[in-house]
Amino acid sequence: MSGPDAITLEGAARRAMQLRELLERYNHRYYVLDQPEVPDAEYDLRLRELQDLEAAYPELVTPQSPTQRVGATPAAAFAAVRHHLPMLSLDNAFSEEEVRAFDRRIHDRLADAGAVRYSAEPKLDGLAVNAIYIDGVYARAATRGDGETGEDITANLKTIRSLPLRLRTPHPPRLIEVRGEVYMPLAGFRRLNADAQKRGEKTFVNPRNAAAGALRQLDPRVSAARPLDLFAYGVGFAEDAQLPERQSEILSLLREWGFRVCPETRAVDSIEGCLEYFARIGEARPGLPYQIDGVVYKVDELVLQRELGFASRAPRWAIAHKFPAEEALTIVRDVEFQVGRTGALTPVARLEPVAVGGVTVSNATLHNIDELHRKDVRVGDTVTVRRAGDVIPEVVGVIFARRPDGTRPVELPEVCPVCGSPVVREADQAVARCTGGRRCAAQRREELIHFASRRALDIRGLGDKLVDQLVASGLVHTPADLFHLPADRLADLERMGEKSASKLLGAIETAKKTTFARFLNALGIRDVGEATAAALAAHFGDLDHLRAASEESVREVPDVGPVVAANVVAYFRDAENAAIVDRLIESGVHWPARPPAERSGGPLAGKTFVLTGTLARQSREAAAERIAARGGKVVASVSGRTNYLVVGADPGSKLAKAQALGVEILDEAAFERLLEG
C-alpha cells in the first residue's frame, strides 16, 4: 500500500479496523502483560499508518481508536459524575489485634459460615477511579470524589495505555463500572522529578501527589506526558452481566477482559493467611516498583459480602491493614552540620523523637545549605518527616502556620564545627566543605568507615563505634595504619579483649587480598564511586599506569568527565595521599594483575555495559570484573554508546533511559548466557 490515496474508503475502513485491533493487541501485551510482541519502532509505524488513514478519511475516526488516547482539547472544568454504586472508603487496622477483631466481627455476623476465605491485595498509594463501559466500550471515568459523586476524568484516564478502550470479550455486559487505582510507578516518579529539577521546576513530594495532579489536568495532553499506570481491583455496578461469585474470580475475569491486575493479589484461607500475607508483602515492599501503604483484605465470597453489608460509609466485609506511617509531624530542636569523608558539610535536623515507618526518628537530613534555605527549616519549626524503607529520614517541609515567633534562618558556619578549619564553598557547588582534610577527626572517621565498607576492602568487624575508638585513641590516622595495629593496644579498647582483637586482625589480614577496582573505591577519591572505580581499573589495568596518568588520559575512560579526571590526578599527586598508597602496598594489599582493557581482546571487546539494581547471584563489582576479564567496559551512566544494560532488582531510572535509547536490556540470566557464550 503506497498511501491512503491508493485505496478506496471501504478498503481504508477494513485496514483501519485491522490496525486498531493490532495496536490494541500490542498495547495489551506491552502495558498489561509485560510481554512486548514487537519492537517500539514497529508499533510506531503501524500507529502512523492508522493516523494517516484517519487523516485522509476523518469519518473513520472512532473514540476508541488508539490514535485518540492523547490529544483531546483541554476541558474548561471537571463535570460531576454520579456513581451508579457508591465508591466507599475502607476502615483501617493498624495492628494484628485490630485485624483479628475484624475477623471476629465477620464470624459473629456469619454464625454458620465456617472458615472464611479472603482476597488479599496490596493497598496502592494512588487515586481510586471508576471506569464505565457500555456494551464493552470505554465510555466515561470519574474520580472517587465524595463516594457518591466524582469528577469527570474520561479524557485523562484514556491516556493511560494499560486501560482497555474495549473489553476483550465477545459478550460484554450492557453496562459495568470497573474500579481501579491510578498510580505512578516509582521509576517514572524519579524520572519526572529529575526532569523537573533540570528545568528548575518544583518537584513532587510523593508518587501519589504526582499521580493525582497528573490525572486532574484540564489538558489531557499533560496527563499523557506523565508516567501513569492503572491496576483494576473490582467491579461496582453491573447491568446484564453474569459475574463470578468470588472477588478473586472477578480479578481473573478483569485480567481476561484486558485490565492490569496487581500481580501480588492472592486468595488466602482464614485470618492467619491474611497476617502471613501482610508479613510477606511487608518484606517485599522495598523492592516493589510502586508505592503501597498497606494491604486490603476482602471477604472473597460475594454472597457473604452481601450478607455482611455496610456500616455507615464503609463495607463490613473489607478492611485496610496499614503499614506504620512513613511520614509524621515533629519539632526541630536544633540544626547541626555533620562533616563527611570529603569534608562536605551536611545540615542535620535534631528532632523531637517521633515514630516514622516503624522506628523512632530523632535526626533527619537536610541535604545541603541550599536545600535547607529552600525549605526554610528553622529551629522550633514543626516539620513533616519522611522515612521510606531503609532510606535516611528527611525533612519534607515546614508547617509554616505553626512557626513560633522569633525564629531565625540557619546559616552556613564559617569554620568546621569539628576541627575549626575554614569552610569554603565554590561558586558553582551546592556543597560546602571543611578544609581541614585528615586533620579533621570527622573526615578521618568517615574515610576509615568507607575504606572498610563492604564494597571497598570489606574489613569484617570494623564498625562505626570501633572506628570512633581507633580515631579517638590516636591508634589510626590513615587507612594504612589499620595494617599496623598492635594487638595489645587493640585488645585494651572498650568491649574488645584479646579474642575480639585477634578476630579483627585476621579480618584485616584477609582484606589485603582484594581487586584493583575495590582498592580504588576504598581510597575514597572525590566523585569516584564503585562504578567509576571499576571503569578506571578496567581502563588502566594497574596502579602504576593510573598514578602516572594525565587528566587527558583519565578523561579517555568512558563516562569520566573533566571534574572527575582532575580529582583523580590531584589525589595521586598529593604527597600525603601518595605516601598512604605506598604504605598500603608495602603492607601487603594486593590484587591479581591484569593488563589494561584497551590492550586485551576477548569476546566482549568494544562492548560497553551499565549495571543497575541489585544482582541476586553476584555483586555488581564482581559482574564488572567478569565483563572486564572478557574485554568489555563498564561505565556509570546510560548513553547512546551503551551496548547493554544489566538489570537487577529495583533498577531505578537507568532502565527507563535505556528503554528510551533502545539499549539492549539483559536480566541476570541473559547476562550469564552472554558471558558464558
Which CATH number do you get for residue 144? 3.30.470.30
> Do residues 182 and 230 touch, judged by C-beta distance below 8 A?
yes
Residue 75 pLDDT grade (very low, low, confident, very high; cuts 50, 70, 90) = very low
C-alpha angle 211-212-216 in degrees, rounded to nearest 5: 115
Q: Considering the domain boundaries, does residue 524 fall inside one?
A: yes
| 96 shares a domain with 236 | yes
CA 425 to chain centroid: 31
C-alpha cell at position 143? 474520580
Which pLDDT value is given to residue 1? 44
| 337 shares a domain with 311 | no
Q: Give the least confident one: 131-135, 197-201, 257-261.
A: 197-201
Q: Tell whether the model's pLDDT for residue 11 goes beyond 50.
A: yes
| 307 shares a domain with 182 | yes
CATH code: domain of residue 588:
1.10.150.20
- Domain containing 347: what range? 327-419
Q: Considering the domain boundaries, does residue 427 fall inside one?
A: no
Residue 71 pLDDT grade (very low, low, confident, very high; cuts 50, 70, 90) = very low
Which pLDDT value is given to residue 541? 86
C-alpha cell at position 640? 547512546
Query: Is pLDDT larger for residue 383 or for residue 47?
Result: 383
Domain boundary among 18, 53, 68: 68
Share of the chain above pLDDT 70, in %: 91
Name the pTM for this structure: 0.53
Q: Considering the domain boundaries, does residue 392 fall inside one?
A: yes
Beta bridge partners of 664: 644
| 358 shares a domain with 216 | no
Kindly give the interhelix angle for 530-540 and 516-523, rounded to the nearest 10 degrees.
130
| 251 shares a domain with 240 | yes
| 315 shares a domain with 176 | yes
Domain boundary among 393, 419, 445: 419
CATH code: domain of residue 361:
2.40.50.140
Which pLDDT value is given to residue 44? 62
| 299 shares a domain with 167 | yes
Give the three-state DSSP class for 241: coil
Share of the chain above pLDDT 90, in %: 49
CATH code: domain of residue 624:
3.40.50.10190
Domain boundary among 580, 597, 614: 597
| 287 shares a domain with 249 | yes
Which pLDDT value is given to residue 659? 83
Q: Give the least confident one: 120-124, 144-148, 228-232, 534-538.
A: 144-148
Number of domains in the chain: 6
Q: Considering the domain boundaries, does residue 306 fall inside one?
A: yes
Phi and psi at residue 57, in whole multiples of 5°? Answer: -130, 80
Residue 302 pLDDT grade (very low, low, confident, very high; cuts 50, 70, 90) = very high
- CA dist 459 and 479 (Å) reads 11
Q: Tell whether the model's pLDDT for residue 658 goes beyond 90.
A: no
Q: Considering the domain boundaries, does residue 425 fall inside one?
A: no
Q: Considering the domain boundaries, does residue 424 fall inside one?
A: no
Which pLDDT value is given to residue 40? 53
| 607 shares a domain with 589 | no
Q: Considering the domain boundaries, does residue 77 fall inside one?
A: no
| 413 shares a domain with 280 | no
CATH code: domain of residue 63:
1.10.287.610
Which pLDDT value is given to residue 72? 43
| 607 shares a domain with 545 | no
Q: Tell whether the model's pLDDT for residue 358 goes beyond 80.
A: no
R_g over Cα of the chain:
30
Which pLDDT value is given to residue 457? 94
Which pLDDT value is given to residue 257? 95
Q: Considering the domain boundaries, does residue 83 fall inside one?
A: no
| 294 shares a domain with 237 | yes
Indicate if 123 belongs to the active site.
yes
> Do residues 66 and 47 touch, judged by C-beta distance below 8 A?
yes
